[in-house]
Amino acid sequence: MNFGNQFRKLLKFNVISYFSNTRKLSLDGGSIKFFTPSLNIYENEVKSTTQFHLLPSLTSSSSSSSSSSVMTPDLSIKDSRIRNIISEPSTITDMNVGLPVSNLNINNFQLPSIFEREMIDPHGQVMEKKALNMIRIRHKKIKKHKRKKLLKRMKFHYRRLKRKRAAIKEQKLLKEITNTLEEGERYNPDQELNEHMQILNWTPPMTRVRGFLAPQEVIEKELERLRNKKLLDERIAVCLKKM
């Protein structure tokens, strides 16, 4: 254990025991001796470095007061190393922080911060990877050069392919033209007109008489009656026109 830590521990223990009434003190020429078994370990170390003195106000009243009266010791340390550990720093820096000025521009105002960050300029110089860009450009040029060489070497082959494709297109067009001519020769307008008229004149077969299902004999009688009625109506209309 370090001597500074030992001294702090000893000092704390002595002050607590001094203010408690259970400890007994003896005055011998202004010095204080503690009759505790735990202090025998540090007695030789403390004698060379520390010495306790009573305050003058307390020495006069010590004779009249009883042993239970409270006395505050004054600590004087000879060793400079221990003094620096315990004593407060000699210089204290006062940090005066004031409010911001009312006329201060808000855009340029910066709050004080511990961490300072470097602002990256968006319009600054951009470090490009020139080697990679050059390799890409070279690859593009090589591909272009190879394409040109291939076109030179395969020029006649590509011409043959074009001719074959054109011939195939012509054959398809000729087939379509011949098919349309054959369809025109086979076309009969009278036959198509009759088919359309049959579709328009078609009537569904009669299955009901006066809203009820009826057998075929009753349906035929009803049809005859309707035909006769139609003929009578036509004759009456002709007679009325003559009158």
Mean pLDDT per 10-residue interval, the chain, length 243 residues: 62 53 44 44 46 42 45 54 53 56 59 61 70 90 95 94 96 95 92 92 84 86 89 87 79
Q: Which residue has the tokens 């204290």?
A: 92
Q: What pLDDT does residue 45 have?
A: 46
Q: What pLDDT does residue 205 have?
A: 82
CA-wise closest residue to 83 among 48, 49, 39: 49
pTM of the model: 0.29
Q: What is the DSSP string of 197-235?
A: HHHHH--PPP-EETTEE--HHHHHHHHHHHHHHHHHHHH
d(CA 196, CA 30): 144
**Tokens at 181, concatenated:** 């001519």
Q: What pLDDT does residue 152 have?
A: 93
d(CA 150, CA 144): 10
d(CA 93, CA 149): 82
Q: What pLDDT does residue 212 have?
A: 84
* Cα radius of gyration (the chain): 64
Q: Which helix (DSSP H) or strand (DSSP E) does residue 93 occupy?
A: none
Q: Which residues contact 82 (CB under 8 A, 6 or more apart)?
A: 3, 4, 7, 49
Q: What pLDDT does residue 49 have?
A: 45
